Structure 1
Amino acid sequence: MTDSTPADPSSCIFCDIVAGVLPCAKVAEDETTLAFMDIDPGSDGHLLVIPKRHSADLLAIPAEDLTATVLAAQRIAKVIPAQLGADGVNLLNCTGAAAWQTVFHFHVHLIPRYRDRTRDRMELPFEPGSVVDLGMLAQQASLISAGLRG
């Protein structure tokens, strides 16, 4: 957790939405999760799926809340192409301010994608297909694997 990450759910805008203190355009809700439209959408139909229980980010969320949130996102994603005419869907999570996280309550963005650029304002922040150093990839894989082994 970083200094910009509130540990206290009482200062969390998403917890206020869950509690009904702040309004939202609700898409779906169950005992564990809530899905609602993003107020700063990158494309038509861009929405957020959150666990109702507060966790700051991907590093802090309990496995059962993560599972429920991702399964809820998948259930919603399955209807987006037919309901909105989307050509695809992105599932995005940002963990930490350096990764563009602005609300420190775990959430996933469910972003419908369209070939029609008038409905889709998002662009990748990097250029896929660039040249990669295979030695660097192997070194990074080794470091991460070592961390997983403890």
Structure 2
Amino acid sequence: MPSLVREIPAAPSAIALMHFSNRLTFETDCSDVFNSQEAGEVDFVLVDVRGPLAFERGHVPGAINIPGRLLTAEGLADYSKNTLFVVYCAGPHCNGANKAAVKLAALGYPVKEMIGGVTGWLDEGFELSVAASQAATHPIACDC
């Protein structure tokens, strides 16, 4: 009797290679964002898609705040169409980053999701940028 892991067979290697390679075209992780920032290799715009209050309470350093509902052609007119946007939200329990990625892609921009969002960032042991007046409040909440 096979284990629960083997109960459904793994995909053939060629299909697994295609699947996992494709996933990397849609997502990046907190460590890659952090290490790119540390190396000064920031060739993307990091966007926190939560609402302004959540952003003030704590956000990834270097991120700008554009709540998902405000991602419009007019609001992004200053960005060239080859600007890579990396979007994140509160964490895996929130689909705000997915919704934002759909909007950006529909507007013709390349986009990746920073998987894990704020929760993932904190899990990696990285610090958030916090407004002094908000330091004692909960940073993860999503009001998107």
Same fold (TM over 0.5): no
Q: TM-score, normalised by structure 1?
A: 0.25
Q: TM-score, normalised by structure 2?
A: 0.26
Greater relative CO, 1 or 2 (CA 8 Å, sep 6+)? 2
User: Relative to total residues, which structure has the larger strand share, 1 or 2?
Assistant: 1
User: Relative to total residues, which structure has the larger helix share, 1 or 2?
Assistant: 2
